[in-house]
Amino acid sequence: MTHDSGAEGASGEPGGRPALSESEFHAIYARVPRLTVEVVVESSQGIFLTRREPGPCAGLWHIPGGTVRFGEPLVAAVKRVASTELGVEVSVERFLGYIEYPSHYLNNLDSPVGLAFLTHLEGGQLTSDADRRSWFGALPEPMHAEQRDFLLEHRLVRS
């Protein structure tokens, strides 16, 4: 498995750098914070959340998100993550704030810092699958505590 580490280019990044291998990705992000974008999709149905399937956070509901690639503008990262994670195009309304994840580094995972952006669907629609992805007006269980707190503080959902 490889991880894209830069904006799209001939080999994955500007300047032709290749994507990171799995071992490079883990070696780097075991030592430095990982910048991510959190795609908060809002509609009259609430906030769209997905359930993590692989990895140490498997089974938790979460805000869709992903790592910002080297040289990638933040709004482009939000749109890329919405497209790859959700299969939709979004318009970015505004920056909401940041989410730090002490639950990750306290459990010897990594140290992500998520920049959360409020977005809305452009055209398409998100389909729900009650077990994997759905709209929520009230927060589901189980969920990342950091994301739960963030959504409640910004009054985007009910507890």
Q: What is the pLDDT of residues 9-44, one digit of tens each?
A: 334 555 556 677 888 877 887 778 889 999 999 999
In whole angstroms, what is the distance from residue 121 CA to residue 92 CA? 9
CA–CA gap between residue 78 and residue 94 (Å, rounded): 11
Rounded CA separation 67/24 (Å)? 14
pLDDT at 10: 36
Q: Which residue has the higher pLDDT, 61 or 56?
A: 61
Per-residue pLDDT at 111: 82
Position 151 scores a pLDDT of: 97
Handedness of CA 62, 82, 90, 87 (dihedral sign): negative
pLDDT for position 16: 56
- Per 3-state DSSP, the chain is made up of helix, strand and coil in percentages (nearest 5) of 25, 35, 40
Domain map of the chain by residue range? 1-32, 34-153
Residue-level pLDDT at 17? 63
Determine contact, residues 39/63, Cβ cutoff 8 Å.
yes
Q: Which residues contact 8 (CB under 8 A, 6 or more apart)?
A: none
34-153 sits in which CATH class? alpha beta
Q: What are the tens digits of pLDDT across the range 74-130?
A: 999 999 999 999 999 999 999 999 999 988 777 777 788 999 999 999 977 888 887
